[in-house]
Structure 1
Amino acid sequence: MPQQHNFIIGQRLELVLGRLNPSAPSGTYTIVRLLPNDDGDREYRIKHDRDGHERVVRESQLRRVATPLI
């Protein structure tokens, strides 16, 4: 049985740059789709907030956006 996604559509996250996506632009991304996946690392379609480019990434490549203290 597939595991539940830990993030939701519309949530803003940061992409952790690494060997799977070394040329991806830094910044925030918004989740636009939860993808079905039988593997342990769930997948998402995300959209870059500035340039609008979409890509598919694994959950382990995402981290929550730090919210500044006011």
Structure 2
Amino acid sequence: MDITEVVLRAIQAQIALVDDMTTVIKEINKQPIVQTKSKQLEQLYKTKQQELEKITADGLKIWRYYKS
């Protein structure tokens, strides 16, 4: 077996592994717990974004008060 065959087999093994991983990831993403966690994270992000907007607005109000 020469180096070309070894490299070819290594590449084929990597391609098969990636294909298997893709299938596994798709199956994992179908699970309800993953969808639930994703929704929870999205909601947490929205909540934190709203908190940041409120803090920013309050900071601007304070700055304008002290400026005037």
Q: TM-score range by the shorter chain?
A: under 0.3
Task: State TM-score, norm by structure 2.
Answer: 0.17
Q: Which structure shows the bigger proportion of residues in strand conformation?
A: 1
Task: State TM-score, norm by structure 1.
Answer: 0.16
Higher relative contact order structure (alpha carbons within 8 Å, sequence separation ≥ 6): 1
